[in-house]
Amino acid sequence: MSRRLARLLVVALGVLATLLVAGPASAHVGGGAAGSDFGARVLAVAPAAPGVAVRVLSFGDELEVVNASATDVEVPGYSDEPYLRIGPDGVWRNANSPATYINLDRYGRTALPAHAEPTAEPDWVQVSTEAQYAWHDHRTHWMTEGVLPPAVAAAPDRDHVVSEWIVPMTHGGTEVEVRGELTWSPPPSPWLVWPVYAVLALTAVAAGLLARGPRPLGGLLLVGGAAALWHAAATPEPAASVSSHAGAIVSALLPALTAVLVAVLGFLASRRGRGAMTGLLAVVLGWLLLVQGLPDVDVLWTANVLSNGPDLLARAAVAVLVSLGAGCVVGGVLATRRFREGEGRRRRHPVREPLPVG
């Protein structure tokens, strides 16, 4: 009966995992890339605009304005035409501004409708009731897909300032300049990091195939659970116009807590010598780790990482999720088969206690 309950528990955990991992990684990175060799930041808002916060998102792909003041922030388009109004009554966008359509695509590959003219009378359409907005501003990121900036291509092993950009705005009749820079950094050397990823995967496989007992595999499960928990806790703050930071963390924590539960159960099973059960739980955990780590796998070969913690820890967490996750799936299958056969032989040929003599 205990074996049936154990198998039922594994099935239930697998079903629960399926329900929880429907979108954890998109919550973690906001649906975009988790890593990039490009980086962007705001250097100054001059003159200062009280109550107005400006930041770049997704390595420069988007610009975000949050206006907590009682005065509108007006953002012109690329031909200095009216484009955005962000204020107490929400966000209004000019349907006749070419920027409205150019900014719909990351590289501006959008056909303009006939009415989109810089000189046309503004046609204001409300796009949000909140005083905050994020959009693709093509001044803050590199616009040529698949081609490196010339300076980067000439010396890809060095850091570069690709451009110093300015986005003009108006706040209460005062002209404001948002100044920033776009940078490029060389990615980590594959010869230094990829052997580490391979060792992580092979360690789990070896624990399932060669270890004399299930305890080494059980210990690795705890490492995977800890990585899942850190990965969720370091969820970066998404765009204010998309969702709350707390909501993103909660969404990422649900599958991470499931992974921790599976890891703890697997570790306890290994401590009790339940090799087959440890292997089954390793398979479930490995799949959970892969689902959480694979959408962010680009951080393994890029210089910059989207994370609320240190880049090194964020990259290490994803490395554990992907490499150890794959190893746990394979090692778990091997352990389940190997220990189940051993337990079956012990049941068929029980060890008899020696009878006392005399």
Give tens-digit pLDDT for 258-293: 999 999 999 999 999 999 999 999 999 999 999 999
- Do 138 and 48 share a domain, yes or no? yes
Q: Note the pLDDT of residue 322.
A: 96
C-alpha to C-alpha distance for 196 and 69, rounded to whole angstroms: 50
Instruction: Look at residues 126, 155, 184 and tell me which one is the last residue of a structural domain.
Output: 184
Task: Give the Cα separation of 13 and 282 in Å (integer).
Answer: 12
Phi, psi dihedral angles at 156 (to 5 degrees): -70, -5
* 332 and 200 part of one domain: yes
175/243 same-domain check = no
- The answer to whether residue 355 scores a pLDDT higher than 60 is no
Same-domain status, 23 and 110: no
Residues 51 and 29 in one domain: no
Place of tokens 């490995």: 286
- 0.85 cut: is pTM over it? no
In terms of Cβ atoms closer than 10 Å to its own Cβ (0-12, 13-18, 19+), residue 50 is exposed
Q: Please identify, among 164, 184, 204, the residue that sits at the C-terminal boundary of a domain.
A: 184
Do 311 and 194 lie in one domain? The reply is: yes
Q: pLDDT tens across 175-230, in order? A: 999 999 999 999 988 888 899 999 999 999 999 999 999 999 999 999 999 999 99
Q: How far apart are CA 153 and CA 175, in angstroms?
A: 37
Taking only the tens place, the pLDDT of each residue in 292-331 is: 999 999 999 999 998 888 988 999 999 999 999 999 999 9
Number of H helices and E strands in the chain, helices first, is 10, 12
Q: Does residue 358 sit within a domain?
A: no
Instruction: Over range 61-72, report the average pLDDT.
Output: 95
Same domain, 140 and 241: no
Is residue 105 in some structural domain? yes
Distance CA(238)–CA(246), nearest Å, equals: 10
Residue 358 reports pLDDT greater than 70: no
Which residues are 35's β-sheet partners?
Answer: 305
Query: Is 357's pLDDT higher than 60?
Result: no
Domain count of the fold of the chain: 2
Q: What is the pLDDT of residue 351?
A: 52
Q: Rounded to a whole number, what is the distance in angstroms from the first to the last CA of the chain?
A: 39
The pLDDT tens digits of the residues spanning 114-134 come to 999 999 999 999 999 999 999
Report the C-alpha gap between 103 and 115 in whole angstroms.
16
Domain co-membership, 237 together with 343: yes
> In Å, how far from its chain's centre is CA 24?
9
pLDDT, the chain, mean = 87
Establish if 72 belongs to a structural domain: yes
**The tokens 């528990």 sit on which residue?**
9
Stretch 12-29: mean pLDDT: 49
Question: What are the residues facing 126 on neighbouring strands?
Answer: 92
Domain with 199 in it: 2-33+188-348
State how beta strands 82-87 and 35-36 pair.
unpaired
**Residue 73 CA to its chain's centroid (Å):** 31
222 and 149 inside one domain: no
User: How much of the chain, in percent, has pLDDT values that exceed 90?
Assistant: 70
How many C-beta atoms lie closer than 10 Å to residue 202's C-beta?
15
Asked if 302 and 319 sit in the same domain, the reply is yes
